[in-house]
Structure 1
Amino acid sequence: MTRFLGALAFCLFLVGQAHACFAPPPEYTTHHADLVRDTPSIVLARATGPSEEHREVWGKRKQLAQFINLENIKGETPSNFTIENGFFIPGQPVPAQDFDGHSQLGFWEKATTRQWNMTDCVMRPVFMKDRTYLLFLGTPHWRAYEEIVSDDDLWLRAVRELANDSSLKTGLSLLASDWFSMAHGVFLGTISDCSGPKLKVDRVFYGTFDNEWAYTDNSHSGYWPFQECSVGKDYVVVTLSDEQSPLPFYSSSVFEVADDAIELSGRRGSEINVEPGTVSLSEIDDIFRNLP
């Protein structure tokens, strides 16, 4: 996980430095329901090794990855195929990058995906031999090349749902209790300092936290989560991953408390529908008290 988060921070740094690509093209981050709807061919496939085809990337010849079709999710794909700009990685295997069967909230809430575009705004996904991937052919997208380890993977389930019923607005709808159970930690905090900002941890619903929690530092103030920083205002913080990210924007979600409740509907960037949309602090208490 540390390697993944470090790679994320490095990737974002490069994107910020590149003159050609300050932000990903909007079509790379569209909602997954639109991704499924707009892609004619979606296939579950296994990378079998390098193909005989090459592409030149920044002056170097790279081999494309060869795939075998395991399941047509949507459309028809040949039994054996390659992906344009999908490259094979030789060498020692690395741990699976499937976000625990895509059960980590960071994948659904913050688009912490396996692949991102390069600094020239081009998607060049990489693949390893004998790994299984859910591929969206002909549609470059951050979510188009996810690794799949098990058949009960939530991303695979969501895509199958949408492929079977294009009228659905999302492939994954959860009860608030299930959504909270996917979090790494949840606490109620009060803003103690607007430089940062910093929150005093008042009540821990789940997980382990220090007495003070800093959302970010001033160098990343562009990821400011609060409409207006006001000392004494209460927020519920939901941490999304098992480690604090170098950019905490990508590992936490922050919800303002109003009338002893928070609003889960309308979460910016979220891909999950959560019901009910409004959850009280006492209900959050009950959710974690009743978890096994």
Structure 2
Amino acid sequence: MCVSPPEHLSIHHSKLVQSAETIVLAVAIGEEPLDPSNKATVAKALEGMEYLKRSTSPRANAAISSFLERPRAKFRVIKSIKGNADAEIVLVNGYLRDGLSTEAHPRKNKERHHDFNGHTSGKFWHRQITRQGNDTDCRMWPQFDLRKQYLLFPDREHYRSYEEVKHEGDKWLNAVTQLVGNPGLKAGLTVTVKDWLSMVEGVFIGTVVEASGPVLSVDHILHGTFDDKWWYLPQNAPSGMSGNWPFWGERRDNSLGEQFLVISYDPEPPTTVYRTATVLKADGSGVFDFKDVFNESNAEVIGNPFQRLADLKEMFQ
């Protein structure tokens, strides 16, 4: 189990673009085994497997041989965004997908089957949810679909190094291209406060009507679709996540009547809302502080991070 993923997997995308030697738009065309005579390729593939490399047991040697013999994903380069690449490349840590379907495994695999609506979704920009995550060994072993197109960072293992790109207007492709052309930019995507909020599934103002849960009444929908009541499940929430509900696991009857702004990133059942929603509490003057969530976003937000309820309502009239 990867308890603490290495920092390089989640550095800001501006640093990812700056550090990458090669960035390509490429289509998956098949598989090809690694060249065992290429020492650099073999060393790259075996990174993090010191426990196997140190072992002299036949089982360890067999495991290494089997691992190296497994064919890797092969791509035809459509366009070099940064650096120079061969017409065809083999991704040392990449594989063609093993046939698991979104329908059979909706929770586990749904991100790897789409492009976040051309990467316009707040899930990708605000919540750091990407097509591929790290494996239990803290490395990236991305899977790809044959004949689909991807924006690849072949020399950089990162959560955003293997995103699917379906068209030239894709926001992730445009953001990376901008940063290659102008490395001084703070981010590849700049948005207003309204744009930032419009990128999510929905936003509403709610009031705590049941302290146990807690349960909120949906008082005013800024945009999106919600039922009359919405609840947040404290047992599902990891500690330390910025923007979390402020009293996980506690029953606080004095919370009744408190007002919150809920930013929902995904139209899923409440059992998964802990990773796809942010809850902000209004201060005594009815002002919501977006500073932390804006800072955590991969998009640069232009505008006042302190927003009054009246201003938010007017913004979405």
Gaps spanning 5+ residues in structure 1: where? 1-17
Which of 18, 33, 41 in structure 1 is aligned with 2:22? 41
Bigger strand fraction = 1
More helix by share: 2
Residues 14-53 of structure 1 aligned to structure 2 (within 5 Å): 18=1, 21-53=2-34
The reply to whether residue 272 of structure 1 matches residue 299 of structure 2 is yes
- Per-residue CA deviation, residues 5-41 of structure 1 (Å, 9 max, x unaligned), is xxxxxxxxxxxxx2xx113222111111111111111
Please state how far the C-alpha of 1:134 moved relative to its aligned partner.
Answer: 0.6
Contact 2:231 2:270 in 1 (8 A): no
* SS of the residue 2:194 aligns to: helix
TM-score with structure 2 length normalisation? 0.76
Give the aligned partner of residue 142 of structure 1: 159
* 2:81 pairs with 1:88: no
C-alpha separation between the residues in 2 aligned to 1:278 and 1:43? 39
Instruction: Please tell me the residue identity of whatever aligns with 1:133.
Output: Y
Shift of 1:141: 0.7
| Alpha-carbon spacing, 1:171–1:250, altered in 2? closer, same or farther (3 Å) | same
Partner deviation per Cα, 1:202-240 (whole Å, 9 max, x = no partner): 222222223332222325352571455761332111111
- The one-character-per-residue Cα deviations of 1:36-93 (angstroms, maximum 9, x if unpaired) are 1111111111111112438768966532011111111111111111111111226598
Q: Distance in 2 between matches of 1:59 and 1:225?
A: 44
Contact 1:106 1:250 in 2 (8 A): no
Asked if 1:263 corresponds to 2:285, the answer is no
Task: Quote the residue 2:55 is aligned against.
Answer: none
What residue in structure 2 maps to residue 5 of structure 1? none
SS in 2 for 1:85: coil
- Highest CA radius of gyration, 1 or 2? 2
Percent of aligned positions that are identical: 31
Query: Where do 1:114-193 residues align within 5 Å?
Result: 114-193=131-210
Contact 2:237–2:275 at 8 Å: present in 1 too? no
Counterpart amino acid of residue 242 in structure 1: P
What is aligned with 1:225? 244
What residue number does 2:233 align with? 216
Give the structure-1-normalised TM-score: 0.82
Give per-residue Cα distances to partners, 1:134-175, cap 9 Å, x unaligned: 111211111110000011111111111111111111111101
Unaligned 5+ runs, structure 2: 36-44, 46-62, 103-109
Match of 1:158, SS state, is helix
The letter of the residue matching 1:71 is K
Aligned partner of 1:67 in structure 2 is 75
Q: Decide which of 232, 248, 265 is 1:240's aligned counterpart.
A: 265
